[in-house]
């Protein structure tokens, strides 16, 4: 298992709260009271629904049957159960509002339950990746000023570290040379955190964070809420979430200790890093090598680390900059998502020129095209929304049957093109959703949430509020088939890519990938149009005959040395292995 490199995996991403409820006794997390105290309300998409680690463990066979070899588990750390302004509260069911970085949230179970999950997965030859957060903690710190304005961001220029409450305020923190001088000696001179706002910790929450050093406001930026632009993207609070001063060596060392401990205690196989682009690059250049070293000490030589550099645009330059400037080994491939989703129908023109460009742009990443092989690729997620939702936006008149076929085509691309295919839980059961965030986090188990179950699913007649673990679903079967094929075909896990056909309109898109050891060609052809297509594709002159591996029937022989004629049905695909 641990001999497998990242690009040899197929990842299944799951939010434990929405997957399976294996222990109803922990639904309220051991808390008393109503939903605003316990965070539990299975009828409300903004609150805990009851899924947990025991439930996830019980469904490992279902995930493995899908062809997944690694499980990316949404954050499981103890969270602040409920936060938000009065009348607009929500719960930490998603796991991104951490108070205790050392233990599992009681809504999900215990540390022992997580240990059991990792051991059970490893026994099946499956890896476990943790979703981690370094950028922020739960919203605990409040500010004396700016309540009525909602704590707008206060910049370093207008509110420098050297004065309290603005440039004309009294002098504080004498000798502090700014956050770019990242030495313990310099940061010891920052003793007053009230340069922008005056931080206040409610008495009831003075000791809520673990480890204990996290309770001191001196380790936070305390500049108010980010507006997602410029300086505030790194120094601002995410809608109130306490933004850590990740330039401080004490914070860096503390985060290395926290997450190194999870490697030491549980032998996990990788990290997905939340909000990576909102942390200074210098931290990652220390954190990543420390984690890889910690993993190697446990015999985990292929520890997979990838960061979230979220963007809604096709922007590989942005993604690649974090592999070069911050030293992240990989990032979630939002460019792939945008290119494939648009090609499969998410864009009205349905052209494949952007998708064709993707492989040239791989040269931007650290390690070039080889480095791009370990980028997790995906079609939708818990923040942006699910693939069928994007397809419906691009094809508003499409029937559910057409949307299913488009989804199957996109999954065929996901599982045969370069990168590490990442399946978002429920996509294999035809979940659709009305949008991103809370609207894309449906229950796999029997649901009581009317807002998440008010639309038909793709590829099934099952009621939306029923249980959804059907191994006969057409998407499940397709993903399982192609995931198995991928593992058995070295060209699909590690082969370089040569584009054979692309267009600015829907139609034939094709690439060849090559076995790294033998050089044998695998031709991948996809039809993004609703009409049948036929055309000649360039291939290697030595590729004389072809074997059908998946999809539509491949031509038996090349039409001429260096050319083959391919025919595909509407929204069809073919995987053709050349036989010299």
pLDDT score of 11 more than 90: yes
pLDDT(273) > 90: yes
Residue 268 is predicted with a pLDDT of 98
Q: Are 374 and 420 in contact (CB under 8 A)?
A: yes
Instruction: Report d(CA 493, CA 182) in Å as an integer.
Output: 40
Residue position matching structure tokens 């191994």? 471
* Structural domains of the chain sorted by starting position, each given as residue range(s) with its CATH number in brackets: 6-135+249-486 (3.20.20.80), 495-579 (2.60.40.1180)
For 308, 371, 564, the CA distances from 128, given in Å and listed in that order, are 18, 22, 42
pLDDT band at 147 (very low <50, low <70, confident <90, very high): confident
- Asked if residue 533 has pLDDT above 80, the reply is yes
The DSSP element (H or E) to which 402 belongs, if any, is: helix 400-416
* Helix runs in 131-239, H state only: 184-187, 232-235
**What pLDDT is stored for residue 46 in this prediction?**
98
Please compute the mean of the pLDDT values over residues 510-515 and round it to a whole number: 98
Q: How confident is the model at residue 348 (pLDDT cuts 50, 70, 90)?
A: confident
Q: Please tell me the predicted confidence (pLDDT) of residue 349.
A: 82
Note the pLDDT of residue 47: 98
pLDDT in tens, 535-547: 999 999 999 999 9
Neighbour count for residue 23 (Cβ, 10 Å): 17
Percent of the chain at pLDDT above 70?
Answer: 100
Amino acid 61: pLDDT: 98
pLDDT in tens, 104-128: 999 999 999 999 999 999 999 999 9
Catalytic (active-site) positions: 274, 308
**pLDDT band, residue 580 (cuts 50/70/90):** confident
**Which pLDDT belongs to residue 326?**
98
Cβ 340 vs Cβ 413: under 8 Å: yes
C-alpha to C-alpha distance for 580 and 578, rounded to whole angstroms: 6
What is the predicted pLDDT for the residue at 53? Answer: 98
Q: What is the mean pLDDT of residues 488-511?
A: 97
Residue pair 39/97 in contact (Cβ under 8 Å)? The answer is no
Distance CA(342)–CA(421), nearest Å, equals 17
Q: Give the pairing type, strands 11-14 and 70-73.
A: parallel
pLDDT digits (tens, 9 = 90+) for 214-265: 999 999 999 999 999 999 999 999 999 999 999 999 999 999 999 999 999 9
pLDDT tens per residue across span 361-380:
999 999 999 999 999 999 99
Q: Could you say which DSSP state residue 456 is in? A: P
Q: Which residues pair with 424 in a beta bridge?
A: 13
pLDDT over 90 (residue 189): yes
Question: Which whole number is the average pLDDT over 78-97?
Answer: 96
| Residue among 272, 269, 271, 273 nearest 296 (CA) | 269
Distance CA 458, CA 464 (A): 10
pTM for the model stands at 0.98
Detail the DSSP E strand segments found in 249-359: 270-273, 304-307
Q: Residue 371: its pLDDT value, please?
A: 97
CA separation for the pair 29, 22 (Å, rounded): 14
Per-chain mean pLDDT for the chain: 97
Question: For residue 210, what pLDDT band results from cuts at 50, 70 and 90?
Answer: very high
**Sequence-separated (6 or more) residues with CB below 8 Å from residue 461:** none
Q: From CA 320, how far away is CA 329, in angstroms rounded?
A: 10
Rounded to an integer, the average pLDDT of 56-78 is 98
Supply the pLDDT for residue 149.
80
């Amino acid at each position: 298992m641990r001999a497998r490199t990242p690009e040899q995996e197929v990842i299944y991403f799951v939010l434990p709260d929405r997957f399976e409820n294996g222990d109803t006794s922990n639904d309220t997390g051991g808390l008393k009271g109503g939903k605003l105290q316990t965070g539990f309300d299975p009828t409300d998409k903004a609150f805990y629904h009851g899924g947990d680690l025991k439930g996830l463990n019980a469904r490992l066979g279902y995930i493995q049957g899908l062809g997944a070899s690694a499980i990316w588990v949404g954050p499981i750390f103890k969270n602040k159960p409920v936060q938000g302004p009065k009348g607009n509260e929500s719960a930490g069911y998603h796991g991104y509002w951490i108070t205790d970085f050392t233990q599992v949230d009681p809504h999900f179970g215990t540390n022992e339950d997580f240990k059991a999950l990792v051991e059970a997965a490893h026994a099946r030859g499956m890896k476990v990746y943790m979703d981690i957060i370094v950028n922020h903690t739960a919203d605990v710190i409040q500010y004396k000023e700016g309540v009525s304005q909602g704590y707008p961001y206060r910049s370093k220029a207008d509110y420098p570290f050297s004065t309290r409450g603005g440039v004309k305020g009294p002098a504080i923190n004498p000798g502090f040379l700014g956050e770019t001088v990242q030495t313990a000696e310099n940061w010891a001179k920052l003793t007053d955190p009230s340069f922008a706002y005056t931080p206040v910790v409610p008495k009831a929450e003075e000791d809520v964070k673990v480890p204990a050093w996290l309770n001191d406001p001196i380790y936070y930026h305390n500049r108010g809420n980010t507006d997602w632009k410029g300086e505030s993207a790194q120094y601002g609070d995410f809608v109130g979430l306490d933004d850590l001063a990740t330039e401080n060596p004490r914070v860096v060392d503390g985060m290395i200790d926290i997450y190194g401990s999870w490697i030491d205690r549980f032998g996990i196989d990788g990290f997905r890093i939340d909000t990576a682009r909102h942390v200074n690059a210098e931290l990652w250049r220390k954190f990543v090598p420390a984690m890889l070293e910690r993993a190697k000490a446990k015999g985990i030589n292929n520890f997979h680390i990838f960061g979230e550099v979220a963007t809604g645009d096709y922007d590989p330059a942005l993604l690649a900059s974090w592999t070069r400037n911050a030293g992240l080994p990989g990032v979630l491939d939002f460019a792939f998502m945008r290119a494939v989703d648009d090609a499969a129908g998410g864009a009205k023109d349905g052209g494949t020129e952007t998708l064709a460009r993707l492989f040239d742009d791989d040269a931007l990443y650290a390690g070039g095209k080889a480095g791009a092989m370990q980028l997790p690729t995906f079609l939708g997620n818990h923040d942006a929304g699910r693939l069928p939702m994007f397809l419906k936006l691009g094809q508003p008149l499409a029937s559910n049957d057409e949307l299913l076929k488009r989804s199957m085509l996109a999954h065929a691309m996901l599982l045969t093109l370069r990168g590490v295919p990442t399946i978002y839980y429920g996509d294999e059961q035809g979940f659709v959703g009305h949008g991103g965030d809370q609207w894309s986090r449906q229950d796999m188990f029997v649901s009581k949430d009317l807002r998440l179950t008010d639309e038909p699913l793709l590829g099934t007649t099952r009621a939306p509020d029923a249980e959804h673990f059907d191994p006969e679903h057409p998407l499940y079967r397709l993903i399982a088939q192609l995931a198995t094929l991928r593992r058995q075909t070295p060209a699909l896990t590690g082969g370089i890519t040569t584009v054979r056909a692309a267009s600015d309109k829907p139609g034939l898109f094709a690439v060849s990938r090559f076995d790294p050891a033998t050089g044998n060609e695998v031709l991948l052809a996809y039809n993004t149009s609703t009409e049948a297509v036929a055309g000649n594709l360039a291939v290697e002159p030595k590729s004389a005959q072809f074997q059908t591996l998946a999809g539509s029937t491949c031509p038996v022989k090349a039409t001429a040395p260096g050319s083959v004629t391919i025919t595909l049905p509407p929204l069809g695909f073919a995987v053709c292995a050349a036989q010299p």
